[in-house]
Chains A and B, each alone.
Chain A
Amino acid sequence: MNGADTTFVLVSAFLVMVMTPGLAFFYGGMVRVKSALNMLMMSFISLAIVSVLWVLYGYSLAFGPDTGGVIGNLDFIGLKGISPESLTEKGGIPVFAFVLFQMMFAIITPALMSGALADRVKFSAWAVFLTLWVTIVYFPVAHWVWAEGGWLYELEVIDFAGGTAVHINAGIGALAAVLVVGKRIGFKKDPMRPHSLPLVMLGAALLWFGWFGFNAGSALAADGTAANMALNTQLATGAAMLGWLIYERVRHGAFTTLGAASGAVAGLVAITPSGAAVNAMGALLIGVVAGAVCSWAVSIKYKLGFDDSLDVVGVHLVGGVIGTLLVGFLAVDGVGGLTQFGKQALGAFSVMAFSFVVSWLLAKLVQATIGFRADPDDEAAGVDQAFHAETAYDFSAVGGSSLRERGGPSATPGAALDETLTATGSDRHHDSKVEA
């Protein structure tokens, strides 16, 4: 067993774990006050659900022995046959370290889609959709791209840390889900300003930090590839932030905070598939292109009229495609060229086609059975109250709230207290009569 590599992969797994809370804050700050908690929860719930699914059957489907190039088999169901002594064939690190590292990828990928569905879906429906999606879309695609025998892996498509498997996959899946779920009430009419840009910045910072584990950790070894990837991650992210800000300053007249955070994420996305195969100049180019193009791409939704609320398509799909395609040309050591570009395009577009169709069907299935969309009244009042029975911030000292007594009249959390109010009202009425 290689101790240095094992340490590196374990620490990388911990770093990738913090990306999901980072994403929660990145998205959570961008929504309006009334659905801030829901947005946080849509990401956090993935930590719970996918952790469980991953050891039950996810790891086996993604990384079990190959079946026809498309999916793993069920040999490792419940992590059967893997012990602390089991080592990976290539790297000589404990299989458990690899299982944990890859688990974090499976967790964040469906969570990425949540931003597109902000403010308007039932929390239970989201949990069901997430479960179905990660099972039927993510586990197979992760197998295609990363597992020995997977058809894109064998084709030598470059996807070092998940531009295709994670970002293109989630971006196009989000688009499909948005087309099924529909626009938020008031889309393009009401102001939908971010309620807390400092939270967005904090989330972007956590994502950026965690992304070193995501990208460099994907080397699965503490070596030069990991170092190159870590360096290129930083370079592309910085360049992308500049690209976004410059485009924005020219087009809209200001260097926005949200633009800086978004540009950074676009750069991180674009360098994810490509960072290990390019040099520093390549990384800078990928970054600046991703920043500027994504900055433009987030406006497409207004023209086409689909409510990708927090720009999962504009940042993750577009950024993922940019990184995946550009590396076809920019890859060093004689790999880059038209042939490699063709492979990259084939990989990206196959995943897009598969993920779009299946995600659309899954969203339709959820919509037709339990209903995906929240009740319009709940959406208007805010999904935080409807599904979580909480409010993100207590703004007022004069809240008009009181503690409910235990054993008192029961009410569904979040539901209006009509019954209680009526009862109190009639008592009062009765009292006043006695006095009269």
Chain B
Amino acid sequence: MKLITAVIKPYQLDEVKEALRAFGVQGLTVTEASGYGRQRGHTEVYRGAEYTVDLVPKVRIEVLAEDEDAEQLLEIVVKAARTGKIGDGKAWMVPVETAVRVRTGERGPDAL
């Protein structure tokens, strides 16, 4: 099993969600995040005092996938999140030992 994590632009969340649903993914975890990369922050002015806001708001999505689906899912996420402009984010994938469905105790692929 694999865990796919992506940090993306907040406005692309719906696209990613739809694309995953179309593929048949049953669930997804979304966290509000902030960070910086090549995209620079912005400046705010309050009565002449200028503040640089370095951290840009992002959302972090996490989805578990079976090994054989993982590559394809990663591609789907990346494609849906892409706008082509700087700040589109990152996606990565790591192996997962196991997963348990809390309600039933099912393990492995059955828990997805």
Contact = CB atoms under 8 A, between A and B. Distances in A.
11 contacts: A193-B51, A194-B46, A252-B48, A252-B50, A256-B47, A262-B47, A295-B47, A298-B47, A299-B47, A311-B47, A314-B47
Interface size on B, as a range, is: under 10
Contacts of A299: 47-49
Interface in A251-267: 251-254, 256, 258-259, 262
A294 to B, nearest CB: 10
A311 B46 CA distance: 11
Q: Of B44, B45, B46, B49, which is in contact with the most chain A CB atoms at under 10 Å from its CB?
A: B46
Contact of B47 (A191, A253, A258): A258
Q: Of B44, B45, B50, B51, which is in contact with the most chain A CB atoms at under 10 Å from its CB?
A: B45
A252 B45 contact: yes
Contacts of B49: 192, 299, 302
Query: A-B pairs with the 9 shortest C-beta distances?
Result: A252-B45, A299-B48, A298-B47, A191-B51, A258-B46, A254-B45, A256-B45, A258-B47, A298-B48
Interface in B16-57: 44-51
Interface string A274-305: 00000000000000000000010011001000
B73 to A, nearest CB: 29
Contacts of A252: 45, 48, 50
Contacts, number: 31
Interface in B60-79: none
Interface of B: 44-51
A192 B47 CA distance: 12
Nearest to A253: B45
A252 B51 CA distance: 12
B29 to A, nearest CB: 15
A248 interface: yes
A193 B43 CA distance: 12
A254 B45 CA distance: 8
Contacts of B48: 248, 251-252, 295, 298-299
B46 A193 contact: yes
A259 B46 CA distance: 8
A193 B44 contact: yes
Contacts of A298: 47-48
Q: Of B45, B48, B50, which is in contact with the most chain A CB atoms at under 10 Å from its CB?
A: B48
A254 B51 CA distance: 13
Contacts of B51: 191, 193
Contacts of B46: 193-194, 256, 258
Nearest to B47: A298
Interface in A302-334: 302, 311, 314
A258 B49 CA distance: 11
A254 B42 CA distance: 13
B103 to A, nearest CB: 20
A218 to B, nearest CB: 29
Contacts of B45: 248, 252-254, 256
Interface string A193-213: 110000000000000000000
Interface in A35-67: none
Q: Of B44, B45, B47, B48, which is in contact with the most chain A CB atoms at under 10 Å from its CB?
A: B47
Contacts of A194: 46
A37 B51 CA distance: 24
Given A193-B44, A253-B45, 16 more contacts: A191-B51, A193-B46, A193-B51, A194-B46, A256-B46, A256-B47, A258-B47, A259-B47, A295-B47, A295-B48, A298-B48, A299-B47, A299-B48, A299-B49, A302-B49, A311-B47
A252 B50 CA distance: 8
Nearest to B52: A191
Nearest to B48: A299
A213 to B, nearest CB: 27
Contacts of A192: 49
A302 B51 CA distance: 14
Contacts of A311: 47
Nearest to A190: B51
Nearest to B51: A191
A194 B51 CA distance: 12
A192 B46 CA distance: 9
A311 B44 CA distance: 18
A248 B44 CA distance: 13
A311 B50 CA distance: 16
B34 to A, nearest CB: 14
Nearest to A294: B47
Nearest to A262: B47
Interface string A223-253: 0000000000000000000000000100111
Contacts of A193: 44, 46, 51
Contacts of B47: 256, 258-259, 262, 295, 298-299, 311, 314
Contacts of A254: 45
